[in-house]
Structure 1
Amino acid sequence: MKKIAILVPESSVLQAIADPQYCFSAVNQFYKEAGKEPLFQVELVGVKSEVQLGNGHFSVHPDKLLPEAGQPDLIIIPALFGDMEKAIAANREMIPWIIDQYNDGAEVASLCVGAFLLASTGLLNGKKCSTHWGFTGLFRELFPMVDVQDGLIVTEENGIYSSGGANSYWNLLLHLVEKFAGREMAILTSKYFAIDIGRNSQSPFAMFKGQKKHDDDLVRRAQNYIEQNIDGRITVDELADKLSVGRRSFERRFKRATNNSVLEYIQRVKMEVAKRNFETSRKNIGEVMFEVGYTDSKAFRNTFRKITGLTPVEYRNRYNKMVVPAEG
């Protein structure tokens, strides 16, 4: 039997505790219905006997406290909520326990922004990690030694797992079910919970926010120029000339400040505008393409798909719910 310890941190998200408990308990039920012994022993583990969540609206009572929890096979760190640095500080007592259990052979999985608590252990240094797309900037700032993955839903390295944002942690739970119980059980679980087992990217949900939390005024001026000239074909040389700076120096400063190359940034800004158009208007693909400065439809489609994981048509059909009036 595999022992799973679901942590109950302060300032955590209730659903990110309840959902893995529900998931692995459901797998146990599937085993019972097949006349087999349950596969998982699932326990909630905390620092104290009662943890209040959701501004005091909910109370969670862990099954075990850290000193009595024993050695799990898998530790699950749920998503945190609110100020990440304060949430990490509130759960400092859990960090040495997680490190000790990992060093003794346990695997560790973080759900969504639970990656912040996982990264605080140092176990992610030099490793890949997924987290919520909206928190990657802060994550890189706090944990520069971790290789955070833009857009990926599930990462796995050396017995450490992490997931993308919000409900995409279900894809990590299915990944863990497949690892411990096999593909057939993972598919059954995905059907039971109506989760798409094949989804591996959170790119369609990401909103590009411009990455302006830096102190480089020259780079910020370049960003503003890009955003004000969406319909133009902007080159790196053009931007460097306008800012009276050498191209190589400009590219280095831009990458350091935004974590994107200049060309990546231009593409992401343009595709963000294209996404908004597809979501909120009846414009066809050609109209949107020209509005964001593309004249080559193949290049536009390829760039859009690279950034969102969907073709323009797929994106519009999924996210534009405008009703088309019936004919006749």
Structure 2
Amino acid sequence: MKEVSFLLTNGVLKPSSLFTAIEVFEKANQFYTERGERPFYKIEMVGSDLTQHLQNSYFSIQATRDIKSVGKTDCIIIPATEYNKTAIRDSSEMIAWIVQQYKEGAEIASLCTGAFLLAATGLLNGKECSTHWKAQEAFMQLFPDLQLCTDKVITDSNGIYTAGGGLSSLNLVLYLVEKYNGREVALYCAKLLQIDIDRHSQSPFIIFSGQKEHHDEEIKMIQDFIETNIEEKMSVDQLADRCDMNRVNFSRRFKRATRTSPIEYIQRVKMEAAKRSLESGRKNVNEVMYSVGYVDIKAFRNTFKKVTGITPWEYKTKFGQA
């Protein structure tokens, strides 16, 4: 029997990722019990503070065991949590416990913003990792040296796993079930819970709102210009001229402020506008292309797919109004 320990962290837990992840493992156990076999997983909730509050809820949840009493576990799941510097600082005992369990052979998986606590352990150093795309800025402020890939739903490196945000983190739980039990069991869980088992990217769901949590007012002015002139073709040289800088200095300053190159920022802003137009259903793909300053359908398609992971036509089918 494989022991799976859901860690009730010191932050405020987000119940959706916790309860649905537990249910995936329970459905895997059901697969075996329906065949007259023993359950494969022993599921428990552990923590250092045995009672935890849940985000936007009127109730709390209680751990079954204190981490001090857990001698050895096979897999630790860190659910989504509201995390900040204070919560991480108050989690030193939990961080040490995670590191020790990993050294003793446990695998560690974070769901959504659970990646903040996992990052604080140092176990993600030198590895790709993911979290909810909306938490990207906060994550990079706390852990600027980590290789954050918010387009990915799952990362896997030497027994350390991270997942994207929201319910897409269930794809990591299915990934673990498939690894431990095989494809048949994972498909059984996915079908019962109606989860898209082959989702690999968060990109179609990302809402780009521009990185403006900086103090460079001149760069903010350029960002505003880009966002209010999406129908125009614009170059980095033109933007540099607007603030009397040469191209190289402007590009460095822009990336230092936004963590994004000017070209990438222009593309992200234009593709976000294109996504909104495709969602409304009132324009066809060519009309949307012209409205964001593109005239070459191949260039538009390639840029759109680079940003969202799917083509404009696929996006319109998936998210557009019928």
| Matching residue of 2:178 | 178
| Matching residue of 2:236 | 236
Letter in 1 for 2:26: S
My pick for the range that moved more, 117-126 or 170-179, is: 117-126
| Matching residue of 1:35 | 36
Superposition pairs for residues 172-321 of structure 1, below 5 Å?
172-321=172-321
CA–CA distance in 2 between the matches of 1:39 and 1:112? 25
- The alignment partner of 2:250 has SS state of helix
| Matching residue of 1:72 | 73
Equivalent pairs, count: 321
Gaps of 5+ in 1: 323-328
CA–CA distance in 2 between the matches of 1:242 and 1:61? 58
CA–CA distance in 1 between the matches of 2:53 and 2:201? 33
Q: Percent identity?
A: 48
Higher relative contact order (CA 8 A, sep 6+): 2
Answer yes or no: is the 8 Å Cα contact 2:9–2:47 preserved in 1: yes
CA deviations on 1:241-300 (whole Å, 9 max, x unpaired) are 222212112112222221221111110000011111111241111211111000001111
Answer yes or no: is the 8 Å Cα contact 2:281–2:316 preserved in 1: no
Two-structure CA RMSD over aligned residues (Å): 1.6
- The alignment partner of 2:81 has SS state of coil
CA–CA distance in 2 between the matches of 1:49 and 1:37? 29
CA deviations on 1:89-139 (whole Å, 9 max, x unpaired) are 454431111111112211110000111111111211222110000011110
CA–CA distance in 2 between the matches of 1:200 and 1:124? 20
My pick for the range that moved more, 96-105 or 32-41, is: 32-41
| Matching residue of 2:52 | 51
CA deviations on 1:294-321 (whole Å, 9 max, x unpaired) are 0001111111111112221221222222
> TM-score, normalised to structure 1's length?
0.93
Answer yes or no: is the 8 Å Cα contact 2:4–2:75 preserved in 1: yes
CA deviations on 1:19-46 (whole Å, 9 max, x unpaired) are 2221112111211222332221111101
Superposition pairs for residues 92-171 of structure 1, below 5 Å?
92-171=92-171
Name the CA shift for 1:73/1:309 in 2 (closer, same or farther; >3 Å): same
Answer yes or no: is the 8 Å Cα contact 1:151–1:201 preserved in 2: yes
Letter in 2 for 1:223: Q
Name the CA shift for 1:217/1:125 in 2 (closer, same or farther; >3 Å): same
Letter in 2 for 1:73: D
| Matching residue of 2:19 | 18
CA–CA distance in 2 between the matches of 1:271 and 1:55? 33
CA deviations on 1:137-174 (whole Å, 9 max, x unpaired) are 11011101211003111011121111111000110001
CA–CA distance in 1 between the matches of 2:50 and 2:150? 37
My pick for the range that moved more, 305-314 or 139-148, is: 305-314
Letter in 2 for 1:233: K
CA–CA distance in 2 between the matches of 1:117 and 1:46? 13
| Matching residue of 1:9 | 9
CA–CA distance in 1 between the matches of 2:114 and 2:243? 41
Answer yes or no: is the 8 Å Cα contact 2:286–2:297 preserved in 1: yes
- The alignment partner of 1:93 has SS state of helix
CA–CA distance in 1 between the matches of 2:187 and 2:310? 24
Gaps of 5+ in 2: none
- The alignment partner of 1:3 has SS state of strand
Answer yes or no: is the 8 Å Cα contact 1:77–1:111 preserved in 2: yes
CA–CA distance in 1 between the matches of 2:295 and 2:233? 10
Letter in 1 for 2:61: V
